[in-house]
Amino acid sequence: MLSIVNGTSTISLTAGSSTSLSHAINFYTNILGLNLHSETDNITYLANNYDKLIVELIFDPAKGLTEEQIQTRTQEIHDKLNQTDWRSLDETIVVKVNNIVSLIETLQTFKHVVQITPNELFPNEVYCVDPLGYVIGFTAVSNPLTLQPPLQKLKPNMGAGTPSSFMMSQAGSQSGIITDDLPKRNVGIMTSGGDAPGMNAAVRAVVRAAIFRGCKAFAIKEGYTGLVEGGEDYIKEMKWQDVRGLLSEGGTNIGTARCMEFKERWGRLLGCKHLIEAGIDALIVCGGDGSLTGADLFRAEWPSLIQELLETNQITQEQYDRHKHLYICGMVGSIDNDMATTDSTIGGYSSLERICKAIDYIDATASSHSRAFVVEVMGRHCGWLALMAGIATSADYIFIPEKPSSSKVWQDQMCNIVGQHRAKGKRKTIVIVAEGAITSDLQPISCKDVKDVLVNRLGLDTRITTLGHVQRGGTAVAFDRILATLQGVEAVKAVLELTPDTPSPLIAIDENKICRKPLVEAVEKTKNVAAAISERDFEKAMSLRDSEFKEHLANFMSMNSACHNEPTLPPEQRKRIAIINIGAPAGGMNSAVYAMATYCMSRGHTPYAIHNGFSGLSRHESVKSIDWIDIEGWNLIGGSEIGTNRFTPEETDVGMIANYFEKYQFDGLILVGGFEAFVSLEQLERARSMYPAFRIPMVLIPATISNNVPGTEYSLGADTCLNSLMDYCDVVKQSASATRGRAFIIEVQGGNSGYIATYAQLISGAQVSYVPEEGIQLDQLEMDIHSLKESFAVEKGMTKAGKLLLKSTNASKVLTPGVLADIINSESGGEFDTRTAIPGHVQQGGLPSPIDRTRADRFAIKAVQFIEENCDKMCGLRYSLEFPREDKTITRTAAVLGIKSSHLRFTSIRQLYDYETELNKRMPKKIFWSSTREIADQLVGRTKIVRA
């Protein structure tokens, strides 16, 4: 039913020409569905059923606007689209409609420019200019001109009996939109410099986060070229649906280019003018150090640029006052991972994944023919890719620009290491060369140089592989989708919180925490690395790299020297250290064993592997010292080569386990596994009073796809699982999109933890994820079905319209995927159909991801160092009759190694087990990823029902 908001029933409009009158009749009949009621010589009446709304069209050339005047007025109003509320321009007619979403679709279908209030995700009102030059509005509420929280597109009929404790919430906001005190700004996003996988995910996050906060979002195409060129071809307002499907696409769909014009002041002046014309207040730049340098310079010059535009009459005083300040935020999109002050850049781990996968393939053919391969990877001024690939693939030698040596030294050193590896029985040789590799006198080292040395001095059959731009290609891995999404959301919040006096921030990540760093400082520090290398100050260049880079390099050198260098510790300090896998297999377990063993060998310790868990030890004495050649290549293998099971010490035989610990005189124990390993460590620590054999340092490296171990926000295997699940979801979503009108319910693992389901929703763009922590409430399910129906209606006929719903296995034992599919199908009214997909143990992954490989290496070496540091504390207590079990110095020698926010920490198992664990749920008490659930829901527009 249509009616006029102010209570009248008739709208009187004047047409100045017969052409404009004809256009007006078409507009009101096509858009509002009115019918011709009656007409006289100069008046045409249009009306709806029961004459609730009547439009009186008066033909009067003397009073009506000419067609030229209408075009001029319409253009003037359209030019103020992103700068001025159209309601303030003129007296506005507002009509109440039932379905404002359908009306908006109709207006856009007929190519009408519309202004939606407060935003397109939760529209209350929409305004357009009719063919006679009048601003006419449509609303779904009775009082559209008052400020109020926006309505959801669809609300279920809660009924009179709904408990008052229920409230509608969009990720924690009662109104369905974030209603904080932050200003509403028009936010532009651009990608600049070299493309990187994950840039599309960043664009999607910025656009949807801005819209969700009631702001307008714009894409600046082709990087800074888009600013210089301007216009609708380069600066485009982005709608919610414009970024559908971007998560699974590589590169950057809004384009990138290197723009020389922007380096000149006249180019930046044009950029300033075009931003103002588009009404953009804030700019988010995703690119490398050069792009971010340009962004900060642009902001610094903004006052003088906008002043010049005003003085030369290129902008109005009103535009000057509105856009006096520009707010800028940076995100780093670079496959080289070369930006200082952040652990990772968008695209870095995707590129590393391509490199490792290529080397994994090369590894097989190299071993078959006993060949050597020299692999060139990107990295002109930064060796991060070469270093991490070297660790992840157990390469024999790497060349990076930060640590060069003379021509004679590198040749001798490489030949010595490769020769020793070959002498120990290794059939293949992998050497990785960063494209910026140099000698200490700044002479480049090419792959051909390396090949010639391997051929001439060692007589190896050697091949060269240059990966080139393959490293940039393909879709982003799970980590980069997560990183880009969370950073994009944070970037929007940052530009809204900025004041004119606040320095421009860079969105960074420290360990597992998204944070803000000073943009200028990060760029300056990054450029200083290249400058130090060119000045041959390699020590300074290395000091400017973050501590994790230096740690990884030291780890690689230690592991790589395991079989040929003299141990670094004297004999009296060498220990006997055991490693055991407990629980379900997880990606990275073999990497942890490999790193632990090779690092122990380099230090002089004797590494032991306990095969098949505690039951294998108690029943079969399955203990074996580790030999270097036996574990060669384990970094590349999934599962657990030493075996694993879920039995804890108390479920097998604690006394027998202690007997074998005593027999082999273990000085330390490393456990790798999930919650069963956590419980096992607690049992061993508690048994110290009775069994002296357990009075040794013990440390747990969390490894489980569920990521439910207390004391850490990251467990080995979780990244491998997410990548496997991401690939699975992408394929299923593609199938759903191709079929049109189809949704899939995918059941994911994770036990009582919703971590995997939550992050899978974030990286796949799924509409819903049901997790054990929340369960599946029927009223929430009803709302999700309504939202699903609406989504299919809005996207009818569009590509990439497939929908996914994720359900953790333990979210509900009654509402299985099959039952959910039947319920949704019965409620869909035939508008779409729903199927199920169960990935099962595919989620445990095949080959471990580079992140799980490199983190496993890092954690294992940290664990060995922990044992070295704590052996002395236990030395005098090993066979003491009185064991001070409650002494905190002693309890800390049994610990969990984990990532907490921005720190890598050892936490006492006693503290975690007694105070931070829900034992019956096998979960930590504090859920660190709850805020990520809110973001995942925000970015798909899901409305939640929460209980007060």
Does residue 370 sit in the same domain as residue 302?
A: no
Does residue 748 sit in the same domain as residue 884?
A: no
Q: Is 681 helix (H, G, I), strand (E, B) or coil?
A: helix
Alpha carbons within 13 A on the beta-carbon side of 382: 24
- What is the rounded distance in angstroms from the CA atom of residue 762 to the CA atom of residue 779? 23
Question: Which of 336, 338, 343, 727 is an active site residue?
Answer: 336
* HEC profile of 623-637: EEECCCHHHCCHHHC
Confidence band, pLDDT 50/70/90 cuts, at residue 31:
confident
Q: Taking 90 as the threshold, does the pLDDT of residue 787 lie above it?
A: no
Residue located via tokens 């620590």: 685
Q: Is 377 helix (H, G, I), strand (E, B) or coil?
A: strand
Binding residues for beta-D-fructose 2,6-bisphosphate: 646, 704-708, 742, 749-751, 835, 841-844, 922
Strands (E), 780-910: 803-808, 833-837, 894-900, 903-908
Q: Quick one: pLDDT at residue 839? A: 93
User: Is 181 contained in some domain?
Assistant: no
- Asked whether the CA dihedral 26, 28, 34, 38 is positive or negative, the reply is negative
Confidence band, pLDDT 50/70/90 cuts, at residue 412:
very high
Q: Quick one: pLDDT at residue 1? A: 37
User: Is 455 contained in some domain?
Assistant: yes
* For residues 623-645, average pLDDT: 93
Q: Taking 50 as the threshold, does the pLDDT of residue 170 lie above it?
A: no
Q: For the segment 871-904, what is each residue's pLDDT rounded down to a tens digit?
A: 888 777 777 777 777 788 899 999 999 998 878 8
Confidence band, pLDDT 50/70/90 cuts, at residue 512:
confident
User: Is 160 contained in some domain?
Assistant: no
CB 605 within 8 A of CB 864: yes
Residue 180 among the catalytic residues: no
Does residue 613 sit in the same domain as residue 507?
A: no
CA distances (Å), origin 311, targets 219, 326, 818? 28, 18, 68
Q: Quick one: pLDDT at residue 793? A: 81
Confidence band, pLDDT 50/70/90 cuts, at residue 651:
very high
- What is the rounded distance in angstroms from the CA atom of residue 506 to the CA atom of residue 518? 6
Q: H or E stretch including 527? A: helix 519-534
Q: Taking 90 as the threshold, does the pLDDT of residue 266 lie above it?
A: yes
Least confident of 91-100, 136-145, 436-445: 136-145
Q: Quick one: pLDDT at residue 543? A: 81
Whole domain around residue 69: which residue ranges? 3-139
- Output the domain CATH number for residue 435: 3.40.50.460
Confidence band, pLDDT 50/70/90 cuts, at residue 948:
low
Least confident of 1-5, 20-24, 853-857, 908-912: 1-5
Q: Quick one: pLDDT at residue 50? A: 61
Q: Quick one: pLDDT at residue 562? A: 84
What whole-number percentage of the chain has pLDDT above 90?
A: 65
Q: Quick one: pLDDT at residue 3? A: 53
Strands (E), 40-131: 43-47, 54-59, 93-96, 115-117, 125-129
- What is the rounded distance in angstroms from the CA atom of residue 282 to the CA atom of residue 496? 8
User: Is 430 contained in some domain?
Assistant: yes
- What is the rounded distance in angstroms from the CA atom of residue 794 to the CA atom of residue 102? 8
Q: Quick one: pLDDT at residue 5? A: 57
Q: Quick one: pLDDT at residue 156? A: 35
CA distances (Å), origin 208, targets 203, 241, 466, 763, 937? 9, 9, 38, 15, 11
Q: Taking 50 as the threshold, does the pLDDT of residue 171 lie above it?
A: no
The packing angle between helices 547-560 and 589-603, to 10°, is 70
User: Is 763 contained in some domain?
Assistant: yes
Alpha carbons within 13 A on the beta-carbon side of 316: 8
Least confident of 180-184, 651-655, 931-935: 180-184
Confidence band, pLDDT 50/70/90 cuts, at residue 586:
very high
Binding residues for ATP: 194, 258-259, 288-291
Residue located via tokens 């497939």: 802
Residues sharing a CB contact under 8 Å with residue 623, sequence separation 6 or more, in sequence order: 578, 608, 609, 610, 611, 617, 660, 664
3-state helix, strand, coil in the chain (%, to 5): 45, 20, 35
Binding residues: 194, 258-259, 288-291, 334-336, 371, 378-380, 435, 463, 469-472, 646, 704-708, 742, 749-751, 835, 841-844, 922
What whole-number percentage of the chain has pLDDT above 70?
A: 94
User: Any idea how long the chain is?
Assistant: 948
- Output phi, psi for 947, to 5 deg: -100, 125
Please state whether the predicted TM-score (pTM) of the whole model is above 0.95.
Answer: no
Considering only residues 832 and 676, tell me which one the structure prediction assigns the higher pLDDT. 676
Does residue 319 sit in the same domain as residue 228?
A: yes
Does residue 749 sit in the same domain as residue 764?
A: yes
Q: For the segment 570-585, what is each residue's pLDDT rounded down to a tens digit?
A: 999 999 999 999 999 9
Q: Taking 80 as the threshold, does the pLDDT of residue 448 lie above it?
A: yes
Q: Quick one: pLDDT at residue 184? A: 86
Does residue 398 sit in the same domain as residue 503?
A: no
Considering the chain, what is the average pLDDT of its residues? 89
Q: Taking 70 as the threshold, does the pLDDT of residue 230 lie above it?
A: yes
Which of 139, 171, 199 is the last residue before a domain boundary?
A: 139
Q: How many domains does the chain have?
A: 5
Q: Which residues pair with 93 in a beta bridge?
A: 136
Confidence band, pLDDT 50/70/90 cuts, at residue 698:
very high
Does residue 200 sit in the same domain as residue 339?
A: yes
User: Is 155 contained in some domain?
Assistant: no
Q: For the segment 760-782, what is each residue's pLDDT rounded down to a tens digit?
A: 999 999 999 999 999 999 999 99
Does residue 835 sit in the same domain as residue 906?
A: no
Q: Taking 50 as the threshold, does the pLDDT of residue 169 lie above it?
A: no
Q: For the segment 275-303, what is each residue's pLDDT rounded down to a tens digit?
A: 999 999 999 999 998 899 999 899 999 99
Confidence band, pLDDT 50/70/90 cuts, at residue 400:
very high
- Output the domain CATH number for residue 18: 3.10.180.10
Does residue 311 sit in the same domain as residue 357?
A: no
Does residue 196 sit in the same domain as residue 229?
A: yes
Does residue 199 sit in the same domain as residue 328?
A: yes
Q: Quick one: pLDDT at residue 142? A: 58
Residue located via tokens 């052409």: 19
- Asked whether the CA dihedral 184, 186, 191, 193 is positive or negative, the reply is negative
User: Is 554 contained in some domain?
Assistant: no
Q: For the segment 176-208, what is each residue's pLDDT rounded down to a tens digit?
A: 445 456 788 999 999 999 999 999 999 999 999
- What is the rounded distance in angstroms from the CA atom of residue 521 to the CA atom of residue 499? 19
Q: Taking 60 as the threshold, does the pLDDT of residue 693 lie above it?
A: yes
Residues sharing a CB contact under 8 Å with residue 157, sequence separation 6 or more, in sequence order: none
Binding residues for substrate: 334-336, 371, 378-380, 435, 463, 469-472
What strands, in cross-sheet order, belong to the sheet with 93-96? 3-4, 93-96, 135-139, 125-129, 115-117
Q: For the segment 464-492, what is each residue's pLDDT rounded down to a tens digit?
A: 999 999 999 889 999 999 999 999 999 99
Q: Quick one: pLDDT at residue 337? A: 92
Q: For the segment 821-850, what is each residue's pLDDT rounded down to a tens digit?
A: 999 999 988 888 999 999 988 888 789 999
Binding residues for Mg(2+): 289
* For residues 702-722, average pLDDT: 96
How many other C-beta atoms can be found within 10 angstroms of the C-beta atom of residue 316? 12
Q: Taking 50 as the threshold, does the pLDDT of residue 338 lie above it?
A: yes
Pull the structure tokens for residue 535. Answer: 């000045």
How many other C-beta atoms can be found within 10 angstroms of the C-beta atom of residue 852? 30
User: Is 391 contained in some domain?
Assistant: yes
- What is the rounded distance in angstroms from the CA atom of residue 23 to the CA atom of residue 65? 13
CA distances (Å), origin 508, targets 255, 346, 589, 792? 23, 10, 29, 36
Q: For the segment 358-386, what is each residue's pLDDT rounded down to a tens digit?
A: 999 999 999 999 999 999 999 988 999 99
| Residue 602 CA to its chain's centroid (Å) | 36
Does residue 725 sit in the same domain as residue 694?
A: no
- Output the domain CATH number for residue 892: 3.40.50.450
Query: Given the DSSP bridges, would you call strands 125-129 and 115-117 parallel, antiparallel or unpaired?
Result: antiparallel
